[in-house]
Amino acid sequence: MTFGELTETPLGPISFYAGDRGLQRLSFSSLKVLKQNENLSSEHPSFFGLQTIGILLTELNEYLHGIRKKFSMKIDWEVLSGFQQEVLAYTSDIPYGQIHTYGEIAAALGKPGGARAVGKALGENPIPIVIPCHRVIGADGVLRGYQGGIKAKAFLLNLEGHEFQNGKIII
């Protein structure tokens, strides 16, 4: 694995790592905290991971400054399994500036009534921002949980052109 970190972003430190198959994790924490929480070391860096991290550093910085709308680095889909992989693959295709509801995603995946299961899968998204789970909201327009916190979710949606009133997104 190869590690990287952006220390000064509007969302605080953001750290990440990638391996031979692509990006595996992005965290709203310092690299030190990420490594401690996941008991990781960098004894065997990955060359492809280094390329992936280089791309992510540039693209994430561009995204957070309103320049980039889509990420191009490879994602290691093997870190996901089953339903979560289906949900996150669907979510990764939600275009910049658009939003979906948990129920819409559940219905699209053939799981009507599965909005809570979609929410759980999104809540465990190991690669937020790049896999844009922030673009998924409640059917009532209210922002639900987000790994980086509701303020981070609101920041990302606002960056993509959405406005809020009384805690709800204006659709």
Catalogue the active-site residues.
133
Contact between 49 and 16 under an 8 Å Cβ cutoff? The reply is no
Crossing angle of helices 115-123 and 82-92, in 10° steps, is 80
Contact between 135 and 70 under an 8 Å Cβ cutoff? The reply is no
Give which of 151, 40, 144 is closest to 102, Cα–Cα: 144
Question: Rounded to an integer, what distance in angstroms lies between the CA atom of residue 79 and that of residue 102?
Answer: 22
Contact between 74 and 43 under an 8 Å Cβ cutoff? The reply is no
Question: Rounded to an integer, what distance in angstroms lies between the CA atom of residue 124 and that of residue 80?
Answer: 10
Looking at residue 18, its amino acid is A
Number of residues in the chain: 171
Question: Rounded to an integer, what distance in angstroms lies between the CA atom of residue 157 and that of residue 169?
Answer: 9
